[in-house]
Chain A
């Protein structure tokens, strides 16, 4: 009988071995596949059990995680909701994430390599992992001014610190409330998302970063820069500025917005042409400079390059033109030229920064949960778009736009503001787009801003009427703070 029991024990040992082998297979070799299997809510619960780091503007959190006490331990809370939505994006159980929530997910979730030491400490302390802080370079006063100015309009504002490329404001209307998408009530989230998705005004579109529209007359600063850089023109060079310009090789003629010539005898200086936004002079100028020079100048300002800020922003487009007629129209920011508010802010900032185009960036730095600085963004030059003296000349010309030209609504007492208006036609019965770009103070620029208002109607002067006041308020907010 002893032998029988020994045999029986051996059988049991085999069964034990089978159990352990099977467990090893499940918990070690099959585990990864099971963890990411559809229907495994543990992955989601795990993600929601980390206290995501906050997104900061200055020292205030615009996105933070608060404990819920429910199965999903934390929920995102956006203190200012729609105002900062273009920067924060949303963080939703159902619809994933966008904006900084997505682009900086590794830092916010605590998985970033820079947070390794902190994660190790939390691991040994047996505590839930806590995410790092994302410090934006946004200026709360500028953001507030941009947000307030856009109310009642469809549009976008981007503001940049010229010397660094730091983004100071990123606003849009209509916007959305990321709080409602972060809710744990999935049907509520779904309803809200559907309503946003079906809204013809596209609140979910990140307007300042990806809404590319013809920049219109604001693009004339690029053409002017190309003229100065060519060495053949100075601000006082005299250009032909008749009432209409016949596109080369066609019988189509394009006129000035005021239907008249830009100066006496149909002649105008470059400086004056910019101040009064003379279409005919700039079309002639663009053709005169040639496609190569125009393209080189536009690209030195950041056109045809996509920037990660860290969200990927749409690249401004200066297209390859087929002929002089297209080039003429492209020179006044029409035809297939496209730019976002951020693109035009970048151009404006480059002119204000002695002609040096900077990489734009939204995140100033990264810090650990205990506020130890882990990383600080170093400003980086993208290209030298203009010489220092040409940039200074162009700044003076843009000051003229505000002081005595089309951009009168951007004037700030005691501050010299450099600006340029724009009203772009979109065709197909779409309303015109009103633009205003500006930087100030002209002698030591602290801020460059671009404002885009999409529902400008058919008014030719809407850049000054609709967009310039917003630019002025943003500048005043930055300089005042």
Chain B
């Protein structure tokens, strides 16, 4: 934790130094809050889940700090540009992001306090489904929903905007885990084999079709390809983990192809995305501008990167949210980006390890579902920004500016910590042992 804090603060200092700014009040506020959040979360986690995987919290914390560093750095670029154009200074994004980080830390604490045993979550399986679907549909409610950049993902209450879809992800993961605990045996049943592939019974196709329809619905009504992919991907991932049937994956693949073809011909924005992906340079000055600028940025970074504050990540639209990976790629280079991807890999791998080690099926599936959400989201974002797959608008977990995503990610970390703690806890623990473990040093 201390090291993560140190790295984060060094990042801030480097940004300040190389952009020619001075260590202003904002720096000390950010440093103070980051330290406070770090200490708070550490204490809470040590107190509530002392047996949890020790690496999860520092990894997420460091990723969050790195995100703050880059958002701060892009704020400076915006401020300097505004100053050069004699326009008023923009409100720094980093202040709102750090507010969300505090909220995220509080929600981790709340998660650990409220969810004393993850198995209790199994009881709210169907409430979660309902809640998740309602949250997903909220932006479509007239007067409440808000469309930004073509995607209807936000709700607006007073001055605050929020992406309910981010929280829906967690609820749907809970539902999925709970649902599959009871139905995995049925879904594993094989009726007949065809070409060596086990074909499930017809009536068991229901759930996957429902998930497919929900995903398509998100795509159609909210115009958000990224969220649709993550939902459906999580569903298929967990279905496979629960049943071990490759046939589900194949069926999912067929459905994705059908859905994809349908979307390609039915929706202009999907078609455009696809064409941009095939040849971004043909759309370099309009719809492809963003991805081309992203590629230019990555190229400019090269192997070692330009150094924080010395590249031009601000040239990429949405450099601090959807394209923050391109910003990191430019200023920290292939080296820095690889390190960050490996940090995500550590986080996800710890999550899956928790799933393996977990003694109850619900915990296993929930841990796997949460890990797969992280994994899919990172893959879809990084793949999109780097032109490996078509571009989708998604936030990078912990890094991107965006409050809803950040607090959702922290809640997910809280849940993982809870499952991990319950899993790794020795079978019979005397209360005194728990007390003792609180004094154990920092991981």
With both beta carbons as reference points, the residue of chain A lying nearest to B299 in the complex is identified as: A34
The reply to whether B295 and A34 contact each other, CB–CB distance below 8 Å, is: yes
Q: List chain A residues, Cβ under 8 A from B284.
A: 39
The reply to whether B356 and A15 contact each other, CB–CB distance below 8 Å, is: no
Q: List chain B residues, Cβ under 8 A from A33.
A: 299
CA distance A40 to B300 in the complex (A): 10
Q: List chain A residues, Cβ under 8 A from B338.
A: 20, 23
The reply to whether A69 and B80 contact each other, CB–CB distance below 8 Å, is: yes
Q: Knowing A16-B345, A19-B383, A19-B386, say if A27 contacts B81 (CB, 8 Å).
A: no
Mask, B279-322, CB within 8 Å of A = 1, is 00100110000001001111111110001001110010000000
The reply to whether A27 and B368 contact each other, CB–CB distance below 8 Å, is: no
Q: Is B211 an interface residue (CB 8 A)?
A: no
The reply to whether B334 and A27 contact each other, CB–CB distance below 8 Å, is: yes
Q: List chain B residues, Cβ under 8 A from A372.
A: none
With both beta carbons as reference points, the residue of chain B lying nearest to A26 in the complex is identified as: B298
Most buried by B among A12, A30, A39, A68: A12
Q: Is A70 an interface residue (CB 8 A)?
A: yes
The reply to whether A42 and B296 contact each other, CB–CB distance below 8 Å, is: yes
The reply to whether A5 and B241 contact each other, CB–CB distance below 8 Å, is: yes
User: DSSP majority for the A interface?
Assistant: helix
Q: Is A8 an interface residue (CB 8 A)?
A: yes
CA distance A70 to B87 in the complex (A): 12
Q: For chain A, residues 1 to 41, give those with C-beta under 8 angstroms from any C-beta of chain B.
A: 1-9, 12-13, 15-16, 18-20, 22-24, 26-28, 30-35, 37, 39-41
Q: List chain B residues, Cβ under 8 A from A70.
A: 81, 84-85
Q: List chain B residues, Cβ under 8 A from A194.
A: none
With both beta carbons as reference points, the residue of chain A lying nearest to B335 in the complex is identified as: A27
Give min CB distance, B332 to chain A, whole Å. Answer: 11
CA distance A19 to B341 in the complex (A): 9
Q: Is A292 an interface residue (CB 8 A)?
A: no
With both beta carbons as reference points, the residue of chain B lying nearest to A20 in the complex is identified as: B338
Q: Is B333 an interface residue (CB 8 A)?
A: yes
With both beta carbons as reference points, the residue of chain B lying nearest to A27 in the complex is identified as: B334
The reply to whether B295 and A26 contact each other, CB–CB distance below 8 Å, is: yes
CA distance A16 to B375 in the complex (A): 9
Most buried by A among B315, B337, B388: B388
Q: Knowing A8-B241, A26-B298, A71-B84, say if A126 contacts B334 (CB, 8 Å).
A: no
Q: Is B70 an interface residue (CB 8 A)?
A: no
Q: List chain A residues, Cβ under 8 A from B315.
A: 41-42
Q: List chain A residues, Cβ under 8 A from B285.
A: 39
Q: Is A45 an interface residue (CB 8 A)?
A: yes
Interface residue range, chain A: 35 or more
The reply to whether B334 and A5 contact each other, CB–CB distance below 8 Å, is: no
Give min CB distance, A205 to chain B, whole Å. Answer: 36
The reply to whether A40 and B296 contact each other, CB–CB distance below 8 Å, is: yes
Q: Is B247 an interface residue (CB 8 A)?
A: no
- Which of B153-161, B222-230, B347-355 contacts the other chain? B347-355
Other A-B pairs, 16, CB within 8 Å; known A2-B356, A34-B298, A35-B300: A1-B244, A4-B241, A5-B355, A12-B345, A12-B352, A22-B387, A23-B337, A23-B382, A28-B303, A33-B299, A34-B299, A41-B312, A41-B315, A42-B297, A126-B18, A126-B310
The reply to whether B333 and A27 contact each other, CB–CB distance below 8 Å, is: yes
Q: Is B423 an interface residue (CB 8 A)?
A: no
Give min CB distance, B380 to chain A, whole Å. Answer: 10
Q: Is B216 an interface residue (CB 8 A)?
A: no
Q: Is B372 an interface residue (CB 8 A)?
A: yes
CA distance A257 to B338 in the complex (A): 83
With both beta carbons as reference points, the residue of chain A lying nearest to B292 in the complex is identified as: A39
Q: List chain A residues, Cβ under 8 A from B14.
A: 126
With both beta carbons as reference points, the residue of chain B lying nearest to A18 in the complex is identified as: B388
Mask, A390-409, CB within 8 Å of B = 1, is 00000000000000000000
Q: Is B162 an interface residue (CB 8 A)?
A: no
For the complex of A and B, 4 pairs with smallest distance between CB atoms: A34-B299, A70-B84, A31-B299, A27-B334
Q: List chain B residues, Cβ under 8 A from A31.
A: 298-300, 302
Contact of B356 among A5, A22, A28 (CB under 8 A): A5
Q: For chain B, residues 341 to 385, give those with C-beta under 8 angstroms from any C-beta of chain A.
A: 341, 345, 348-349, 352, 355-356, 361, 364, 368, 372, 375, 379, 382-383
Q: Knowing A5-B368, A37-B296, say if A22 contacts B237 (CB, 8 Å).
A: no
Mask, B237-252, CB within 8 Å of A = 1, is 1001111100000000
Contact of B364 among A1, A16, A128 (CB under 8 A): A1
The reply to whether B312 and A15 contact each other, CB–CB distance below 8 Å, is: no
CA distance A16 to B368 in the complex (A): 17
Give min CB distance, B353 to chain A, whole Å. Answer: 9
With both beta carbons as reference points, the residue of chain A lying nearest to B301 in the complex is identified as: A27
Q: List chain B residues, Cβ under 8 A from A20.
A: 338, 341
Q: List chain A residues, Cβ under 8 A from B85.
A: 70
The reply to whether A4 and B240 contact each other, CB–CB distance below 8 Å, is: yes
Give min CB distance, B73 to chain A, whole Å. Answer: 14
Q: Knowing A15-B379, A19-B382, A70-B84, say if A30 contacts B299 (CB, 8 Å).
A: yes
The reply to whether B300 and A42 contact each other, CB–CB distance below 8 Å, is: yes
Q: Is B83 an interface residue (CB 8 A)?
A: yes
What are 17 contact pairs spanning A and B, CB under 8 A?
A1-B242, A3-B244, A5-B352, A5-B355, A8-B372, A15-B375, A16-B345, A19-B386, A23-B386, A27-B298, A27-B337, A34-B295, A42-B297, A42-B311, A69-B83, A126-B18, A128-B310
Q: List chain B residues, Cβ under 8 A from A12.
A: 345, 348, 352, 375, 379
CA distance A23 to B388 in the complex (A): 9
Q: List chain B residues, Cβ under 8 A from A24.
A: 334
The reply to whether B356 and A23 contact each other, CB–CB distance below 8 Å, is: no
Give min CB distance, A108 to chain B, whole Å. Answer: 21
Q: Knowing A1-B242, A1-B364, A42-B300, say if A126 contacts B83 (CB, 8 Å).
A: no
Give min CB distance, A258 to chain B, whole Å. Answer: 66
Q: Knowing A1-B241, A2-B356, say if A27 contacts B302 (CB, 8 Å).
A: yes
Most buried by B among A4, A20, A27, A46: A27
Q: Is B329 an interface residue (CB 8 A)?
A: yes
Q: Is B17 an interface residue (CB 8 A)?
A: yes
The reply to whether B375 and A28 contact each other, CB–CB distance below 8 Å, is: no
Q: List chain A residues, Cβ under 8 A from B386.
A: 19, 22-23, 26
CA distance A7 to B80 in the complex (A): 49
CA distance A6 to B298 in the complex (A): 33
Contact of B240 among A8, A15, A16, A128 (CB under 8 A): A8
Q: List chain A residues, Cβ under 8 A from B372.
A: 8
The reply to whether A71 and B302 contact each other, CB–CB distance below 8 Å, is: no
With both beta carbons as reference points, the residue of chain B lying nearest to A24 in the complex is identified as: B334
Mask, B1-32, CB within 8 Å of A = 1, is 00000000000001001100000000000000
CA distance A267 to B356 in the complex (A): 118
Q: List chain B residues, Cβ under 8 A from A37.
A: 281, 296
